[in-house]
Amino acid sequence: MRGVRAGEKRVSAPAKARAAEHIHLPSVHLRGEDGSGFDYDEDLFVSGRGRRQWVERVVRLVVIERDGYEHVRETRDTLCAEEMEQLRADLPILMDEENPASAASMKECANKEMARQIRIARGEEQVCHACGCSETRSCSGGCLWATATLCSRCV
C-alpha cells in the first residue's frame, strides 16, 4: 500500500457485497409417451443476514410440446416472514431427493403450477404482468389487485 501525500484522501476499498446464497430445489420433469410434458424448477436466493434477511423465489415452468416447441414461464416473488420460517423447517426434507415425501411435495407444486398456467393462458385467471402472481397464487404474504394488470406489491 502506498503512502498518502499531503492533500490526498485515503479511500478504503468498498466492502465486498455478500453474494446471495442460491438454493435449487429438486426439479420435476414430467413427460408423456410422445415426449410432451413439462419441467418445473424452483430456485431460492437468500440475501442479507438476521432480521434483514430476505428470500427471492423464482419459479420456472417449461412446457414442451410434441413438436419440441417450448413455452417458458417464470415468476418471481419475495417470501414473507411466515414463509421463510416454514421454508427453514421444510428445507431439509425438500433437499432430500431420496425421500418420497420430498418428491411428492415437489410434484404437487409442479402440477398446481401447470394447472395455474393453463388457466392463465386460457384467460380464466388474472395475472400480474410484473411478478406473475395470480388469483390462486398471490404474492408471499398476500396482495390485492391494484389495477387490471398489476398487484398491490408491483404498483
Q: Each residue of 37-77: pLDDT tens digit?
A: 999 999 999 998 888 888 999 999 999 998 888 889 888 88
| d(C-alpha 140, C-alpha 155), whole Å | 16
State the average pLDDT over residues 141-145. Answer: 91
- Residue 114 belongs to a domain: yes
User: In the chain, how many H helices and how many E strands?
Assistant: 2, 5
- Residue 150 belongs to a domain: no
- Residue 128 belongs to a domain: no
Burial class (CB within 10 angstroms; exposed 0-12, middle 13-18, buried 19+) of 49: exposed
pTM of this structure: 0.76
Give the angle 61-62-65 at the CA atoms, nearest 5°. 140
> Considering only 15-24, 62-71, 138-147, which range has the smallest mean pLDDT?
15-24
- Residue 104 belongs to a domain: yes
| d(C-alpha 54, C-alpha 80), whole Å | 8
- Residue 11 belongs to a domain: no
Give the rounded percent of residues in the chain with a pLDDT score beyond 70. 88
How many domains, in total, are found in the chain? Answer: 1
Tens digit of each residue's pLDDT (9 = 90 or more) over 94-133: 898 888 988 898 999 999 999 998 898 889 999 999 988 9
